[in-house]
Chain A
Amino acid sequence: MYAALLSNRYLTSRLIPFIAIGAVGLCVALVVTVVSVMSGFLDMLKDSGRRIVGDVIVSTGLGGLPYYEELLADLRALPVVQGATPLIDTIGLLRMPYPHGPTKEVAQVQVWAIDPASLVKVTDFAEDLYWRPASGDAANALHPDDPRRSLDPEIVRDGETLTQSATGRSGIALGMHVSIGNARQADGSYLPRYGWFMPGHDVTLTVVPVSLQGRISEPREQIFPVVNEVQTGVYEVDRNRVFIPLSDGQRLLRLDEAPLYDLSAAPDENGNYPVIGRTPARVTKLLVRGTPGVHANDLRAEVERVYDAFTARIKKDGARTARAPEFVSVLTWEQQLRDLITPVEKEREMMRVLFSLIYIVCAGLILSIFWAIVVEKVRDIGILRSVGASRLGVMWIFLRYGLVIGLAGSAVGIALAWIIVRNINAIHQAIGSDAPSIMWMGAFALAAVSFVGLVRAALRRRILPMLLWLLATFVLGLVGALLFFHKGTLIWDPSVYYFSVIPDQVDWTTAWTTALGGVLFSVIGAAIPAAKAADIDPVEALHYG
């Protein structure tokens, strides 16, 4: 009981332990914040991978996969498959409607020619369509310039079908950041920039077909009306990807069904070779989504099995005019994203290890603070021994003291990390914009107050208060100057960091293990002075203390 009394009293009767609590808290907060953001980043990466590409991706070379409808039917017949969809993935150039005048901007894009009806069963394409008309209260809550207040209700269906319903033309859906027209707001919504609200405008897509032999043909182009825009939340995707209907993609890339000519025969009078059959339409990728609960790896094995049966069947069938490629890659979304995920995972572990080194700093700090306290308290220890306190009891005073500092520091750290992580986007936003004048004015005002304190301390000829006021004046003045000259800088550049928002969930496993580490190292730091205290000879302590 005396241990509790004394460790509490030693704690509350001086300032130093609170500095130690602050130090432990900062260490814990730092580790928890960094690891939480990185874990959140990984989770987002993994989650978005699945949302955007489904569970399993079958990819062929440029020549594409014929008879894919058959393969899709085989796959869809599997009980483990929720949906499967064909896809052509290529690169293209997109001529934008802006700026006004004869020269237009051209964007390099990744083209996904899709079958919307089946794609929505595999990915979140339908949910990712951004422009949806708002009405009633929801509309009133929006910014006055938000286009969603006055959208044509057809826009959602147009996006889902990639068809402009008013004209019946094939449409294109752009990733949210493909055009310059969408300005992201602090709340995550978008307002048109430079007056360019893309839906309704025509854009020209140019792609380059590649023959089965790998030769490039004449580039082909087609004008599409923009029907909607897509926000996956992954900046890389939203900046590059455009969606067009599969049939248009096949035609543009010469992957559609076509007559097969006998080039060995003599051409007719018009120069045409005789038709001996038709080559089937092709796609370059299939995306497969498993039924809920099915693991991607199991699904992958099933898909591979089905594919092998499919190629064998095609090969045996003499009536076929095309062969299925023998080598396709069948990957889970995780394997597909491995190149991206692995370095981030490694980075996170490295951060964990590196930042965990600060524990040693914490332990060292506590050790030196406690050492000083033990030395100062030698006489007290002698007194305690003289009234019957045991060596372990004396040791426990300081261990308990360390434990309290560790617990309090970890609690402060977790609270701090929680506040930072939950508000990280707002904090980032604040750093990204100019400091409000009230802040630098406030800092300068406080600096002025400190200066008054400095003058008073100087008049009273007290050196310590003088030094402290001087430091306060200097630091506050510096903060004020920094705030005054601060012009918004974007730390989290979405083009570098892949996602358009910073993960804001605390990784609680990390939080608790880090807190435990904080407590452990505080106790370790306290253990050495505590052991010294236990070894103090009471007679000497009373004699010299």
Chain B
Amino acid sequence: MAESASILEARSVRKTYAFGSVGVPVLLGASLAVREGEWLAVLGSSGSGKSTLLHLLGGLDRPDRDGGEIWFAGERLELAGGRRVDAYRNSSIGFVFQFYHLLPELTVLENAVLPGLVGGIGPTARARAKAATATAHEILDSFGLSHRLRHRPAQLSGGERQRVAIARALVNRPRVLLADEPTGNLDSATGSGILDLLADRHRAGLTMVMVTHDHAVAARATRMVHLNAGVVEFGAKSTL
């Protein structure tokens, strides 16, 4: 595979959770470079800190003080202000979670459009919302959900919900998709359907980071790393 520049990078990242007065270290200097256009699988046992790392990469959480650096396209994320990180989450990346995390009061279409409604004011906001609505229609259509646009998440199956969640993650055309066990809650047939769909997007040029503890799932990625004892261990796909 051609060596390309890394777009998202964690450098010696440390993260400690506080349990009352005791600190529980989870990441102890984890480093990871995500290359433009790759599909990276992050493997590791339960509790190893995979989700934590993903949250740090996605700007949902920050590393410890002096706990390393997070780089996105030449910018130090852990130093950026709150508004900048909000904007980063909104337009540069997309999150997909194991439990779909759709808003129950919104329809399928509204859930998918949601990131397009965040940020901006006045005419720009309206233009953004309009563009996002068009994109959401297009994506949901390609996911075979065009007949369920007005349904509520509760009326959908797990696989359908996850497709809506993916549509939402893609609606603002992010550069990186961060997926946390996207098939973890689905049976294998439905799960592989979801992976097919992600593979399509990857072929279309999307950079993806996918957390999983399922080797079969990880096998579909272009590269995989292990998270172990708070650090990232690199392993070639062939060694597994």
Contact = CB atoms under 8 A, between A and B. Distances in A.
Interface of A: 1-2, 5-6, 9-10, 13, 379-380, 382-391, 393, 538-539, 542-543
A389 B117 CA distance: 9
Nearest to B103: A380
B34 interface: no
B115 A388 contact: yes
Interface string B107-144: 00010001101110000011001000000000000000
Interface string B150-172: 00000000000000000010000
A53 to B, nearest CB: 62
Contacts of A379: 101
Nearest to A538: B60
Nearest to A382: B101
B51, B87, B95, B114 — most chain A CB neighbours (10 Å):
B114
B147 interface: no
B61 A388 contact: no
Contact of A542 (B87, B89, B97): B97
A13 B154 CA distance: 14
B90 A387 contact: yes
Nearest to B94: A387
Contacts of B97: 386, 542
A1, A388, A390, A543 — most chain B CB neighbours (10 Å):
A388
Contacts of A9: 105-106
Interface string B19-55: 0000000000000000000000000000000010001
Contacts of B205: none
Contact of B114 (A2, A391, A538): A2
B83 interface: yes
Contacts of A13: 105
17 contacts: A1-B118, A5-B110, A379-B101, A384-B103, A384-B118, A385-B60, A386-B58, A386-B60, A386-B89, A387-B95, A387-B114, A387-B118, A387-B168, A388-B90, A388-B91, A538-B61, A539-B60
Contacts of A391: 82
Interface residues of B, number: 31
A10 B105 contact: yes
B199 to A, nearest CB: 23
Contacts of A5: 106, 110, 117
A1 B129 CA distance: 8
Contacts of B55: 539
Given A2-B114, A2-B118, A388 B89 contact: yes
Contacts of A384: 103, 114, 118
Given A10-B105, A390-B83, A539-B61, A1 B117 contact: yes
A379 B58 CA distance: 17
B129 A389 contact: no
B214 interface: no
Nearest to B107: A9
A6 B60 contact: no
A374 to B, nearest CB: 14
Given A387-B90, A542-B97, 16 more contacts: A1-B129, A5-B110, A380-B103, A380-B104, A382-B101, A383-B101, A385-B60, A385-B89, A386-B58, A387-B89, A387-B168, A389-B86, A389-B90, A538-B61, A539-B55, A542-B60
Contact of B82 (A2, A390, A542): A390
A388 B87 contact: yes
Contacts of B104: 380
Contacts of A387: 89-90, 95, 114-115, 118, 168
Contacts of A382: 101
Contacts of B125: 1
B169 to A, nearest CB: 8
A533 to B, nearest CB: 14
Contacts of A390: 82-83, 86
Q: When A and B form their complex, which 4 residue pairs have the shortest distance between CB atoms, in order from nearest?
A: A388-B90, A2-B117, A1-B117, A9-B105
